[in-house]
Amino acid sequence: MSRLHRGTIMKKKRTIWTGVGLGILLTIGIMVSGCAEKEPVTVQTVQIPEGEIDPVVWGKAYPVEYDLWRQTEEPTQDGLSKYKRTGFDADRPTVDKLSKFPYMALLFSGWGFGVEYNEPRGHAHMVRDQLAIDSARLKSGGVCLTCKSPYAPKLEQDLGVDYYKQPFKQVLSQIPEEHKTLAVACVDCHDANGMSLKISREFTLGRALQDMGIKRNDLTHQQMRSVVCAQCHVTYNIPKNEQNESVGVFFPWQNSKWGNITIEDIIRTIRRHPEVKEWTQKVTGFKMAFIRHPEFELFSNNSVHWKANASCADCHMPYTKVGVYKVSDHRVRSPLDNQLRACGQCHAEGAEWLQERVFAIQDRTVSLMLRSGYATASTAKLFEMVHQARDGGKPVDEEMYNKAKEFYEEAFYRSVFIGAENSVGFHNAPEALRVLGDAIAFAVKSESFLRQILAKAGVDVPLKVDLELKKYIDMRGEHKLMRDPELEIKDPMNLQEMF
């Protein structure tokens, strides 16, 4: 046991004895004063200084939550989730998402996500994993710390635009040595004075909420139990200047309404902001934007659990007993990794029954994810062929080409929206499946235009487009990463092989 940990437990014991003593005093006080109305006295043995970041200090006041929070470092049981492996096996510290979904290697080729893209581990690992990943993933600069370090708001305030654009490690070096790899901490979600939930990322989520006309005071405590998570579990864009340096970060919610942030509105926003086309897709040569883990967007868009007034914390931080305490479980994780205990708070059915429901949704989502992902990848390869033909002097119908490109982008963003979202459709099943259905419609329609263009140019496209996946998935980046065929997710509906 670490010194730190031991210290915490000793502190906890002291706190309990202090509590017992106070309890006796309070009881006597109440007996003496009878029913006279008095202001209740808040017992607070530890004062957390304003602006304190160090979780150890917070842990003195809240030792139970602190200990649970520390547990995000520990592996979860493997095999409970069907489509997410958290990658804690000794021989496999990371799980390669590109091996799980090989079409992503093709689609993301051209920048960091196409080099190394791993399934996330527990919160505690976020900065450590960021330092271990291929440096291609850190090219955007200091901005990458926005969701990783509790120092981010202070750094943003101190450095201004330099926070976004300076090299990642340069900005990281501004963080005190002992906290360099400190991940999301108490201060990211809580107000030191009274522990109420707060928005620490005023410069991202705060502004995005403002854009939708939402003020902090409009939000209930229960809504805040989702909003604090929405500081990071959202998609975001990084606008670039002419030197391709990062100059900010924003959530593309300007066209959306609270409870109704749609992929359609996000795509519209992206199209209006060419400065957020952060990268160039290798296969097509197109400048593209990107969609990151839009958990909050998908969940809050009229999903059944959102409408039932459930919050992120209800399912991912369910109330749990620790000795005599009942606290919100700060070991944030998937309900699947916790035997669906969170679900049991509302649903009387057993864990096995509930798990089957989750898998029924995820099986269908994964099936259409594969359909839309491979369709989009095939279309990308056809663009490559069209570009070759055009470069070789063949005529290309411009109107049809432009429509194909427009549809390709519509498909790409939709496919990535659900592919990056961490619930494999569960957060909002009908919406996830609808979005994938449309991704398929746009991708294959684009393919149909490109096949026509190529046929007119005298290029014969076979029934199955050769994706040349090896080219994109093997020998990736600094670590020469290779495809791991064992990880590949196969279509649970057995249809993908028909295409």
In the bound state with a second copy, the residue whose beta carbon lies nearer, of 139 and 268, is: 268
**441 near a second copy, judged by CB under 8 A:** yes
Q: Which amino acid is at 236?
A: Y
The correct pick among 463, 466, 485, 497 for binding a second copy (CB under 8 A) is: 463
The correct pick among 461, 467, 473, 481 for binding a second copy (CB under 8 A) is: 461
Q: Between β-strands 279-280 and 287-288, what pairing exists: parallel, antiparallel or unpaired?
A: antiparallel
Question: H or E stretch including 372?
Answer: helix 351-391
Q: Return the structure tokens found at 475.
A: 């020998």
The 3-class SS string of 15-61 reads HHHHHHHHHHHHHHHHHHHCCCCCCCCCCCCCCCCCCCCCHHHHHHH
The correct pick among 54, 119, 264, 275 for binding a second copy (CB under 8 A) is: 264
Q: Which amino acid is at 63?
A: P
Whole-number Å distance between alpha carbons of 313 and 295: 13
Whole-number Å distance between alpha carbons of 435 and 413: 10
Stretch that binds a second copy, among 114-122, 191-199, 311-319, 362-370 (CB under 8 A): 362-370
In the bound state with a second copy, the residue whose beta carbon lies nearer, of 202 and 264, is: 264
Q: Which amino acid is at 198?
A: K
In the bound state with a second copy, the residue whose beta carbon lies nearer, of 204 and 362, is: 362
β partners of residue 240: 246
List the end-to-end C-alpha distance of the chain, in Å, as a whole number. 54
β partners of residue 279: 288
Name residues contacting a second copy, limited to 287-306 (CB under 8 A).
302, 304
In the bound state with a second copy, the residue whose beta carbon lies nearer, of 155 and 433, is: 433
Stretch that binds a second copy, among 24-32, 88-96, 159-167, 358-366 (CB under 8 A): 358-366
For 486, other C-beta atoms within 10 Å of its C-beta total 7
Torsion of CA 319, 321, 325, 326, to 10 degrees: 20
Name residues contacting a second copy, limited to 391-430 (CB under 8 A).
399-400, 403, 410, 425, 429-430
CB 238 within 8 A of CB 278: yes
**474 near a second copy, judged by CB under 8 A:** no
Beta strands in 100-165 (DSSP E): none
The correct pick among 243, 308, 391, 486 for binding a second copy (CB under 8 A) is: 308
**445 near a second copy, judged by CB under 8 A:** yes
Binding-site size, a second copy (CB under 8 A)? 52
Cβ at position 302, least distance to a second copy in Å: 5
In the bound state with a second copy, the residue whose beta carbon lies nearer, of 77 and 402, is: 402
The correct pick among 389, 444, 473, 481 for binding a second copy (CB under 8 A) is: 444
CB 78 within 8 A of CB 91: no
Name residues contacting a second copy, limited to 131-170 (CB under 8 A).
none
In the complex, which residues of this chain contact a second copy (CB under 8 A)? 264, 302, 304, 307-308, 349, 353, 356-357, 360-361, 364-365, 367-368, 371-372, 375, 399-400, 403, 410, 425, 429-431, 433-434, 436-438, 440-441, 444-445, 447-449, 451-456, 460-461, 463, 493-495, 498-499
